[in-house]
Structure 1
Amino acid sequence: MYIGLETDAASLRVYDPQVVPGLLQTRPYAEALITGALPETTPTDIEKRVQVRMRRQERIAAPENPLRLWTVLDESALRRVVGTRALMREQLEYLVEQSQLPHVTVQVIPFDMGAHPGLNGQYAILEFPDASDSSVVYIEGVTSDLYLEKANDVQQYSVMYEHLRAQALNVEQSRQLIADLAKEYAR
């Protein structure tokens, strides 16, 4: 899903308006999501995609130099039922758990925020520890992906991301909203 995660990407900033980002997905959520999003995909190919997603998550749990992840989600990503209500409860509980790691930050843009800079769609910004490696914006597509490396493009997406972070609930408010929604799925 993201270029550079198999290497030494120091940090990743992600915005997703529709779904929980792959690096924070449980296996059942990833399976249900891929199955729903790619209905003509074979079970074997779905399993391969899920395995890749789970392998990439190892960068967050790495004992040394874990990936620094900052994600901003639209509230719709939390309310969209992927799979079953029980699966969603499990996913949101896992998201709360992951958000408590010192190198993982999760913020939510609530519905009542209205229009915001992320309405155009999801993207990620990869930043590398070596100053000679320039940052990259990654935009995932259905048939191909887009990588933006021009400094001006990266700067525009970075500014847009800063606006998203500023308009989102703070970390504690976001965690509480996610926990409250998880309880709603338990009913």
Structure 2
Amino acid sequence: MTDFSNAKLNRRAFLGATAAAATFPAASWAEEVDPSALRSQEQVTRNISSFRSLDWRPYFSSTRGGAILVDLTSRALHYWSPDQSVYKLYPTSVPISEDLTRRGRTSVARKVEGPTWSPTPAMKRRNPEWPDFVPAGPDNPLGTHALYLGWTYYRIHGTHDTRKIGRKSSNGCIGLYNEHIAELFSLVRVGAQVLLI
């Protein structure tokens, strides 16, 4: 039986080594891996999203109607139900640049299942090759559900391109995995408070 009591590898180091093994050819892993090297690499490499629970009080005076906080720095969306019995935390994609980013208070103006998409005039100027309209379906950049905000052109929506989550990858909207936006969609009411910080 192997004695693990003196093992220096923690779970994060093990996962890092496993990910590295998948990246490099097998021959390069014929030598023994130095656990201290993995620990030092762990200190430099960080998860792109910061998943920690937050309390609603610093951000909202109440959760009446429900409350959504989007933290653009940690790339996370927090949701509190009106009676605070439900708290959800989701990883997000965020705007690709500061000039596409909007911060402040708004609300959920409407909810759409199976949204269609048209690029904004500014998007069309930047990307004239983009189509003028994309129907609901697997090619739609808004995914399966969308929460339209009180600001024109801004939404919290799903995405079929899961590589975007946890990254600066959007043209201004907040993106979630389709299964997460479907869950949030079922919880959120029109009129829910939204704060982007």
TM-score of the aligned structures, taking structure 1 as reference length: 0.23
More helix by share: 1
Higher relative contact order (CA 8 A, sep 6+): 1
More strand by share: 2
Which one has a bigger Cα radius of gyration? Answer: 2
